[in-house]
Every structure is written in structure tokens, then in C-alpha cells.
Amino acid sequence: MAKETNSENPTDFTGIRRTPPAEKAAGLKAVVSSAQHILREMGPTRGFKALALLNQKNGYDCPGCAWPDPDDERSPLAEYCENGAKAIAEEATTKKLDAAFFAQNSVYDLSLLSDFDIGKKGRIAQPVYLPAGATHYQPISWDDAFTLVAKHLKKLNSPDEAIFYTSGRTSNEAAFLYQLLVRRFGTNNLPDCSNMCHESSGVALVESLGIGKGSVTLEDFYEAEAIVILGQNPGTNHPRMLTALQKAKQNGATIISVNPLKEAGLLAFSNPQQLGGMLGMATSLTDIFLQVRINGDMALLKAIAILMLEAEKKAPGTVFDAAFLAEKTEGVQAYLDSLSDYDLPTLADNCGVPLSQIRAAAEVFIQKKKIIACWAMGLTQQKNAVATIQEIVNLLLLKGSVGKPGAGTCPVRGHSNVQGDRTMGINEKPPQAFLDNLERVYSFKPPQHHGYDVVEAIHAMHRGDARVFIAMGGNFLSATPDTTYTAEALRNCDLTVQISTKLNRSHLVHGREALILPALGRTDEDIVNGEKQFVSVENSMGVVHMSQGKLRPVSDQMMSEPMIVCRLALALYGNYQSNIFWSRYTQHYDNIRTDIAATIPGFEDYNKRVREPGGFYLPNGARVQQFNTATGKAKFTTSEVPTLQLHENEYVMMTIRSHDQFNTTIYGLDDRYRGILNERRVVLMNPEDAAAAGFADGTVVDLFNFDDGVTRTAPRFIVVYYDIPRRCVATYFPEANVLVPINHTAERSNTPVSKMVRIEVKRAG
Ligand code: SF4
């Protein structure tokens, strides 16, 4: 009988070492670290071939974040960063897991390993199946696997009993076919990783500006007079952004950073593409660093708006862009009137930033006209995330700083094609126009009722309302909140199917039956009918471009994601039952793109335009001051400033990534920039808070959350004295996700609030 597997990391320590936090990012150390990962996983020949093609116009797109490539010349030296190199090393490793591996390693034994150790095992080399009650995965043919999935799906009482999850690595072609299959099956249960990351940005921007995407291009960074970076750590999560910030600085821009942590990548950048950078010289980046309390952003932004209004009143027409406000916006007066509800000292106290520093930042907003605002999870995973993002938009609108060169919004996507997947229809709340286009092109009526997002999907599985879970990529268990609850939900399914490249913990916490289907990765060559295929992706700036795998796959039993979807559809429907000729898509991916062009506006002539070097920009109304809102105007919004009352021994926790991590993929155990090496079970605490609680630097503690009457425990963490605002603490995910309550989600976007969790810290028993 199979023993219940371990849904969390073991609590064993790995031997912490500490160095002073870095004050600059990248440089020679980044190059050395990249080379070490590449050589360790792939060896020199395959390794350096892989790097030479990364982010090149005739190569493949980085499976890391969604920072754009330059439209013009790509760096011949290296058009990638350290974490891009690590992402490639992870995916293109020569280590592979075949039937022998699974025969030797029980699911239970594997679950006792850390996420780092599980991930380092290698690529899934063939389809494997775990029958009910079995202890080991066993080989299965592709045909049998598809037949099994089709059998389970057909057995359901309703299509809504199936959930189809998508991770942001999925290409446009695979995502489009996946949503088509799911809607033809009869449900909109298409939760995706966007639900956990920039959903709040989408909801906020659609209402305020009429499009859920950022409005700037990479070129705008080089023209900006000011760049404001909120709740983002680009040095680790979007490292090539540092090159753009360096160029912006050289062009005279002022940079304001708003973050509870003084991240090295916000402070300075040693560009390894420059001799000076390799010798340790660095470009200072941030001019004004505002070390805000967790979720103090709204109070800070309100304070800046009040100071802008004061300056405008003193010299009318010198601060606000009156013409833009009159012609292009609505609601400005109600917004300005709402500011009188607040006073500066209270707001400064709320956000934890001295008023003098707030005045310095406000002066930049007062003086500059071309302002770009960038943000990431530090904003989107907050209870009032949507309102805070709209407050940023309010400030930009006051300046007319949207839809002109050097100005606008920039939600920086953390997953290479998360934006593309949404554009392709991976959306549990699809716009009516998208469903109507699907019906027009494919002559079937897609389901009209909304599906489950990530949190709703977990609840549905936990209740037993959903019985089949299929994941296109990702590591659902480790990426989601409330790990214990989510594990119970997955175990409650009849069947879980993971379409994956590498082994991860979601393979070890599974339904009564489970399948792992090995997919080709971004770097893998994909040959169909003797012809090399390519896929396409969309970056944070809305550029759609091709990506062609060039490396020989480590196994000939892997299948591309588009092909997996088609084969599953054929197993479900055959070729004719569904009005969709799935086999046509298995002939050539141009056929997929032809139908995307017929269905989704902006993709006209897709096959021709995607072959142009660098690809093409999708239409973006906000980029040209065409605001596709209900009134055709950009919309000011008014919202409250939240206050958080903590009990005596309570702290507010944010989960973060280490520098050796991409989402739930753990590349290594060293958080080099923060000086925390060889250990992940750490809690960063303000030294005064820790001392007041009787904890020394290095004390072992247990962490607790008690929301909704549930005791959530994350045992054995090491206290690390760190420069973080009082009563704020930080931990790494996925280790601390067990503390994030499933019902603790952002208003309106339902994004898990992983950046603002109440916890208690107690000396370990
Ligand atoms: S910045 Fe992002 S997309 Fe670019 S190489 Fe690095 S991880 Fe990859």
C-alpha cells in the first residue's frame, strides 16, 4: 500500500553561511556562476552551443522571465543573464529519468527529498503512469496514456469536473490548441500561473487604461526622465532589465525604488558585457530608495499625489498635464478631492518612509514629464493590489505620462510567455469577443460560464467537485498557497496529469492515478514530418517572436506540447467529431498559426510576420493614448489607504525568491546578493524585532499562521538578522507557502496574497 507522500520540503538544514549583502549586481561572479551551472548540467560543447543561441533571432527564447530582447542588434557576446543561463542549464541538462529510475525510486522516497534535490534529478525521458495504490511510476506508451486520459474525461458527469492548468512557459501554439481542446470539451476551467502573479495588474489596467498589458516598449526606457520601480527585484527576477536601467541612467534618467529590501540589483549594476563591469566597476542605479513597509505602497503614493497637488496649486499648469487630463481622462477631480481625506504625517507613518524622502521622490514626479512605472509581485500579491496599481496609474495620468515616448506602465512579467498564454485565450474568464470569434471560426458554441481560477480550482478539487487535474507545465503544488490544503485537494482527484520537462514535487503529490508526460522544452529541436518546427511567444512589451529549439532532445520519447494536445484531442474525439481537424495541426505548426490569425485580432499574416527577425508588436491602445475603456477615456480611481494592526508578537511576512531560483525551480542554495548561502529555511528579521523577541542571529524558530481558525506551521527556520522594516519578515517560497491561507486573496483579482501574511515566530520546540 502506498505511503502518503511528503508535500513539503524536509526541515533538514543544509549548513548556512553568511556574507555581507551585495551592493551591486552581476559582474564577474554572474559569469562564473552561469558557467558553473552550464558545465555541471551540460558539459562545454552542448553548453556553450546552447548559450550561443539563447535569445538570438535565429535561436530560442529564454524560458525564464519575459524581459524583452532588443529590437535591433542582439549582443553577439551574450544576449542573456545569469538566471537565463541557469534556466537553460536546468532544461537542457543531459541527465534523464527513464523507467529504470522510476523503478528504483518510489514516489514516497522521492518526496522526502528537498525541492532542490528533486529538480536536479533530470529530464523526464518517457511517459510514466502511477496506478491507484502503486508505489512506483511505471512506463506507459503514449497511446495508452492518451486513451487513459480520454477515458477519465469521458467518465465525468460534467466537463466542469476537469481542470486544465497552464504554466507561463507554454508557447502560443500550444496554448491556443489547449484552450481550443478545453472549450470544445465544454469548460472554461483554465486557471494559469497569471492568476498567481499579474492578474491584479490585468484587472487594474483594463479598468483604468482599457488593456491588461503594459504600455511601454524597451526603447521607452532609453527616453524616460524618471523610472519608478515598485515591489520588484530585477537583479534576480528580470536581470537584463539592469542593462536598460544602466542605459536610462546614462541618458539622464532618475530612478526611484520602492521596496522593503535594499536589493543589490536596485542599487548598482556591474555590466558583465563591459570590461569595467567585469573588473567590478558598477553603474549606480537608484537615486532615491524608499524602504517602504510591506504594503505601505498605497500610503506612499497618496503622499506623493498630495505633494504634487500642493505644487500644482502653487503654480497651476506646471505639474499636471491639463490638456491630457481634459482630453484623455475622466474622474480627475473626484480623485484630487479624495486626497483631502489624508494627511502627510499619517501617510508617512503608515508607509514607514520619512517625509523628507517622500518629498524628494515627489519632487521627481513634479519636475519630470516622461515617467515609467515598473512593478511586480511585491504589488500584485497584496490584498489591495488592484487599487495600488491603479494609484500608480493615477499619478502617471496626472503627468500625462502614458502613451508617449519615455512614459507609461510596465508590469514586468516573470514567466516567458505568461502574457502570450492569456492572449491565446488561457483565461477562466474569457472576454465574450474571444468566445464569439472561436464560434465563428470553429462552428461550435464554446462554454459561456466562467471557469475556476487557481484558488477556486483548489477548492473545487478539495470539495470533490473536480476530479481530473491536467497541468501543462509548471509545479502546481509548490507554486500555490496553503500547501497542506492544496496537497489534500490534488490527492482527492481520480487522475492528475503533469505535462512536464523536469521532475518536481507536483509529480509526488498526486491523484488516485497519475501520469507524467514528458514534453519537449524550449531548447529542444522539434521535427514534424521531417521539418524543423518553431513556436512563438509574447514578451512583457507585447512583442510576438519565434523561438526554435536547436538542441538534440535527450530522449526520443518526448513530445512537443502542441502535439500532446492534438493527440489527446484525437483520443477524445477522433478527427471529425469535434469540427476541428486536429490532425491538420500535427502536419505543420503554420496551420495552428493560420487559425490563430483567423481567431485573434492583431495576428493577421501571423506566419509571415513571426518569421521577420525579432517578430512583431501587437496592437496596444494605451501605447498610443487610445484607451479602450467604456468611455474611451483613461479612468482615475479613488481608493482607501489600508491600515494593518498587528498583535503584540505578530509580523507581516512576504515570500520571496532567492537569487538561485526561478519560480519554484531551485537552481542552487545560494542567495548570493543577500549574502545567505547554502540554506533556504531562513526568516529575514529586523535585528531590533528579533532581539526584542529574544532571538539571536541564527536562532531556530517555528513559524505559524492562524487565519480562518486553521493552524498552519512551517517548522525549523533560521533567524537571519537583515535590513528589513520593523515587524516585517521575509521567507523563501515554496518553503513558506504552507503559511499562506488559501482564502487570503487580493480583492477583485483573487490572487493569493503571498506578500502580506500575518505570522507568529516562536523558538523551535
Ligand atoms: S532577463 Fe529574463 S528573459 Fe532575459 S535572459 Fe534573463 S531570465 Fe531570461
Instruction: Check: CB of residue 388 under 8 Å from CB of residue 375.
Output: no
Q: How many CB atoms lie within 10 A of CB 748?
A: 15
- Cα(545) to centroid of ligand 1, in Å? 15
| Alpha carbons 356 and 335: distance in angstroms, whole number | 24
- Residues 6 or more apart whose CB falls under 8 angstroms from that of 207 comprise 390, 629, 635, 637
- Ligand 1 and 414: CB distance under 6 A: no
Instruction: Check: CB of residue 127 under 8 Å from CB of residue 518.
Output: yes
3-state secondary structure 147-173: HHHHHHHHHCCCHHHEEEEECCCCCHH
**DSSP 8-state assignment for residue 389:** H
Class of domain 97-195+421-539+547-604: alpha beta
The alpha carbon dihedral of 513, 149, 184, 194 has a sign of: positive
Q: Is the peptide bond before 734 cis (omega within 30 degrees of 0)?
A: yes
- By most ligand atoms within 8 Å of CB, the mutation choice from 240, 241, 539 for ligand 1 is 240
Residue 568: phi and psi, rounded to 5, are -65, -40
- Cα(416) to centroid of ligand 1, in Å? 8
- Cα(656) to centroid of ligand 1, in Å? 18
Instruction: Check: CB of residue 441 under 8 Å from CB of residue 599.
Output: yes
Q: Find the angle CA(420)-CA(61)-CA(565) to the nearest 5 degrees.
A: 55
Residue 727: phi and psi, rounded to 5, are 60, 10
Query: Which of ligand 1's atoms lies nearest the C-alpha of 241?
Result: 1
Q: 606 is written with which cell numbers?
A: 501571423
Q: How many CB atoms lie within 10 A of CB 140?
A: 21
Residue 292: phi and psi, rounded to 5, are -75, 150
| Alpha carbons 542 and 376: distance in angstroms, whole number | 17
- Residues 6 or more apart whose CB falls under 8 angstroms from that of 379 comprise 200, 230, 231, 297, 385, 388, 389
DSSP string, 475-524: -HHHHSSSHHHHHHHHHTSSEEEEEESB--GGGTS--SEEEEEEBP-TTB
Give the start-to-end residue ranges of the domains of the chain. Answer: 97-195+421-539+547-604, 199-411, 650-763
For 227, 299, 376, 665, the CA distances from 408, given in Å and listed in that order, are 10, 21, 15, 32
Q: What is the pLDDT of residues 240-292, one digit of tens each?
A: 999 999 999 999 999 999 999 999 999 999 999 999 999 999 999 999 999 99
Give, using CA atoms, the residue closest to atom 2 of ligand 1. Answer: 65
- By most ligand atoms within 8 Å of CB, the mutation choice from 62, 242, 415, 523 for ligand 1 is 62
Query: Does domain 650-763 correspond to CATH entry 2.40.40.20?
Result: yes
- By most ligand atoms within 8 Å of CB, the mutation choice from 69, 81, 410 for ligand 1 is 81
Query: Which of ligand 1's atoms lies nearest the C-alpha of 83?
Result: 7
- Ligand 1 and 65: CB distance under 6 A: yes
Q: How many CB atoms lie within 10 A of CB 317?
A: 9
| Alpha carbons 522 and 433: distance in angstroms, whole number | 31
Residues 419, 421, 424, 426, Cα dihedral to 10°: -120
Give, using CA atoms, the residue closest to atom 3 of ligand 1. Answer: 65
Q: 556 is written with which cell numbers?
A: 526520443
Query: Which of ligand 1's atoms lies nearest the C-alpha of 85?
Result: 5
- Angle (deg, nearest 10), helices 172-185 and 561-573: 20
Amino acid at 555: S
pLDDT at site 62: 98
- Ligand 1 and 67: CB distance under 6 A: yes
- Ligand 1 and 238: CB distance under 6 A: yes
Give the SS3 label for residue 744: coil
Query: Which of ligand 1's atoms lies nearest the C-alpha of 62?
Result: 8
| Alpha carbons 591 and 597: distance in angstroms, whole number | 10
Q: In terms of DSSP H, where are the helices of 186-258?
A: 199-209, 218-223, 234-237, 241-250
Tell me how far the alpha carbon of residue 140 is from its chain's centroid. 32
Give the SS3 label for residue 616: strand
| Alpha carbons 522 and 528: distance in angstroms, whole number | 15
| Alpha carbons 740 and 736: distance in angstroms, whole number | 7
- Ligand 1 and 606: CB distance under 6 A: no
The stretches in the chain having pLDDT less than 50 are: none
Residue 704: phi and psi, rounded to 5, are -135, 145
The region that residue 133 occupies, defined by phi over 0 for left and psi between -120 and 50 for alpha, beta otherwise, is left
- Cα(45) to centroid of ligand 1, in Å? 22
Q: In terms of DSSP H, where are the helices of 262-413?
A: 264-267, 275-278, 297-314, 322-328, 332-338, 344-351, 355-367, 377-380, 385-398
Please state whether beta strands 25-26 and 268-270 pair in parallel, antiparallel, or not at all (unpaired).
Answer: parallel
Output the pTM of the full model.
0.97
- Cα(236) to centroid of ligand 1, in Å? 9
- Ligand 1 and 417: CB distance under 6 A: no
Q: What is the pLDDT of residues 546-575, one digit of tens each?
A: 999 999 999 999 999 999 999 999 999 886
| Alpha carbons 222 and 69: distance in angstroms, whole number | 14
Tell me how far the alpha carbon of residue 409 is from its chain's centroid. 17
Largest CA distance in the chain: 78
Instruction: Check: CB of residue 239 under 8 Å from CB of residue 265.
Output: yes
- Ligand 1 and 81: CB distance under 6 A: yes
Radius of gyration of the chain (CA): 25
- Cα atoms found within 13 Å of the Cα of residue 121, Cβ hemisphere only: 21
pLDDT at site 703: 98
| Alpha carbons 751 and 383: distance in angstroms, whole number | 8
- Ligand 1 and 242: CB distance under 6 A: no
pLDDT at site 72: 86
- Ligand 1 and 159: CB distance under 6 A: no
- Ligand 1 and 239: CB distance under 6 A: yes
Sheet holding 543-547, edge to edge: 535-538, 543-547, 616-617
- Ligand 1 and 62: CB distance under 6 A: yes
Instruction: Check: CB of residue 238 under 8 Å from CB of residue 232.
Output: yes
Bridge partners for 284 per DSSP: 268
Q: 502 is written with which cell numbers?
A: 523536469
Q: Among 680, 654, 664, 662, which residue's Cα sits nearest to residue 754?
A: 654
- Cα(415) to centroid of ligand 1, in Å? 9
CATH architecture under which domain 199-411 falls: 3-Layer(aba) Sandwich (3.40)
- Residues 6 or more apart whose CB falls under 8 angstroms from that of 164 comprise 178, 182, 187, 189, 190, 191, 470, 472
Q: How many CB atoms lie within 10 A of CB 31?
A: 17
| Alpha carbons 298 and 641: distance in angstroms, whole number | 6
- Residues 6 or more apart whose CB falls under 8 angstroms from that of 309 comprise 336, 339
| Alpha carbons 653 and 655: distance in angstroms, whole number | 7
- Angle (deg, nearest 10), helices 297-314 and 355-367: 60
For 190, 437, 599, the CA distances from 443, given in Å and listed in that order, are 21, 10, 12
| Residue whose C-alpha cell reads 473545487 in the numeric block | 460
- Cα(13) to centroid of ligand 1, in Å? 30
pLDDT at site 576: 62
Q: Among 667, 658, 664, 655, which residue's Cα sits nearest to residue 500?
A: 664
pLDDT at site 481: 98
- Cα(82) to centroid of ligand 1, in Å? 8
- Ligand 1 and 227: CB distance under 6 A: no
Q: Among 455, 451, 471, 488, which residue's Cα sits nearest to residue 741?
A: 455
